[in-house]
A = this chain, B = another copy of it.
């Protein structure tokens, strides 16, 4: 795990990485397993070690819109567990069996509150990640908007 740090732990020194890995538990995941569901309380943060996970969001209560598929070791999912109100904003399902690192939200919170330098480093990475996703999602909106502009010949 130490050789595949995620974007969330970028810039952390080895001592901090060791503290993080010390509270990470590993568990296997099978294809089709629902890791978490949109709207649920976010009790855990996950780090992909092996396999693939699909992230989706529900439209009209019965249609799942795919958001992305994570395949790279070190990818993080369930970051809503770091941010109030601690509620998963997407659903995650295993689409290729593998292994997941799991970090309990409260244990991570305790670490980040007792070591604010560690907390700041993780939160800076998280903010940069959210801002990237926000830009990406706005970009998709722009594409839809362009299509609308063209179809209405404005």
Interface stretch among A14-22, A27-35, A77-85, A100-108? A77-85
A26 on the interface (CB 8 Å rule)?
A: no
| B residues in contact with A142, CB < 8 Å | 57, 59, 65
CA distance A128 to B117 in the complex (A): 19
Instruction: Please state if B83 and A146 are interface contacts (CB–CB under 8 Å).
Output: no
A133 on the interface (CB 8 Å rule)?
A: yes
Q: Of B83, B116, B128, which is within 8 A of A128 by CB?
A: B83
Contact with B along A77-98 (1 / 0, CB 8 A): 0001011100001000000000
A1 on the interface (CB 8 Å rule)?
A: no
CA distance A119 to B116 in the complex (A): 8
CA distance A107 to B63 in the complex (A): 47
| B residues in contact with A128, CB < 8 Å | 83-84
Q: Please report A residues at the B interface, Cβ cutoff 8 Å.
A: 57, 59-60, 63, 65, 67, 80, 82-84, 89, 112-113, 116-117, 119-120, 123-124, 126-128, 130-131, 133-135, 137-138, 140-142, 144-146, 149
Q: Which 8 A-B pairs have the closest CB atoms?
A: A123-B123, A130-B130, A116-B116, A119-B120, A144-B144, A137-B137, A83-B127, A116-B120
